[in-house]
Amino acid sequence: MPSDPPPGVLTDRVAIVTGGASGIGRATAVLLAHEGAAVTVADVDETAGCQTVQLIAAAGGRARFIPTDVTREEDCRGAIAGTASEFGRLDILFNNAGIIRRTSVPNTTADDWDLVMAINVRGVFLMSKHAVPAMPRGGVIVNTGSGWGLVGGRDAAAYCASKGAVVQLTRAMALDHGPQGIRVNCVCPGDTDTPLLTSEAEQLGAEPATFRADAAHRPLGRIGSPDDVARAVLYLASDAAGFVTGTTLVVDGGGLAGSA
């Protein structure tokens, strides 16, 4: 008789993925579920978020959608509480929700600056603030940074500042919560084929296909896929990374390899 398939590396774990309605968030939610985790998809886009849940359910996984604006503390608190109520615990938080504005400092409005900081930084802070007390047995937090959180980029002042903040927040949290058995790491993607990349092209007035082709000029000769980043998050969330905390994992096809 055929043997049962081996359990996934996240069997019996419970995860929350913010920004799980599309792109890296969707790919990661699907992969974590495939590896055995029950997943809460947290996003402001209910239609697309429920589509992610349906993808997971169709493959035999467990998932639910919770509408979540990560800039609102009550939403973040509710996503954590709703997950614990539905699945009984919380083991993994992937802080992935984010936006980009492709402008220099003089061309960035104060409102756009505040919005980028609210989603990219405040959202990580608020979700983590309420997740840590929900992880009394330890857990994992993975934050989405960026290559531009490690080096500068042109016409992306608010985004670079926000992702630099995420990288430093990751390190501070790793120091604070390591004694509680909570590992905190940051995945730093390069250009990845997501709606965010299309938004960048549109903001810069570039044709999306040309923009993607230009972004592929890196040692591996292509831009990243959401699955490339999802697999890195899976590693950081799994026991394979049990002695890894406070680090940044760059997933960019070698784009930063030659940076000073």
> Is 88 within a domain?
yes
> Is 8 within a domain?
no
Tell me which residue has tokens 């592929």. Answer: 216
- Amino acid of residue 25: G
Q: Where is average pLDDT lowest: 68-72, 167-171, 209-213, 222-226?
A: 209-213
Q: Where is average pLDDT lowest: 104-118, 192-206, 221-235?
A: 192-206
* CATH code assigned at 55: 3.40.50.720
> Is 174 within a domain?
yes
Query: What confidence score (pLDDT) does residue 51 get?
Result: 98
- Amino acid of residue 188: C
Please name the residues in contact with 54: beta carbons below 8 A apart, sequence gap of 6 or more: none
In this structure, the strands spanning 63-67 and 248-251 are unpaired
Nearest to 27 by CA among 9, 10, 39: 39
pTM comes to 0.96
pLDDT digits (tens, 9 = 90+) for 220-229: 999 999 999 9
Query: What confidence score (pLDDT) does residue 1 get?
Result: 46
The pair of three-digit structure tokens given for residue 176, joined into one six-digit string: 């604070």
Helix (H), strand (E) at residue 24 = helix 23-34
Catalytic residues: 159
Handedness of CA 126, 129, 133, 139 (dihedral sign): positive
Cα gap 176→189, rounded to integer Å = 25
pLDDT digits (tens, 9 = 90+) for 122-134: 999 999 999 999 9
pLDDT digits (tens, 9 = 90+) for 162-197: 999 999 999 999 999 999 999 999 999 999 999 989
* Residue range(s) defining the domain that contains residue 125: 14-191+228-248
Please state the domain count of the chain.
Answer: 1
Whether 186 and 142 have beta carbons less than 8 Å apart is answered as: yes
Q: Where is average pLDDT lowest: 118-132, 147-161, 194-208?
A: 194-208
- Amino acid of residue 192: T
> Is 198 within a domain?
no
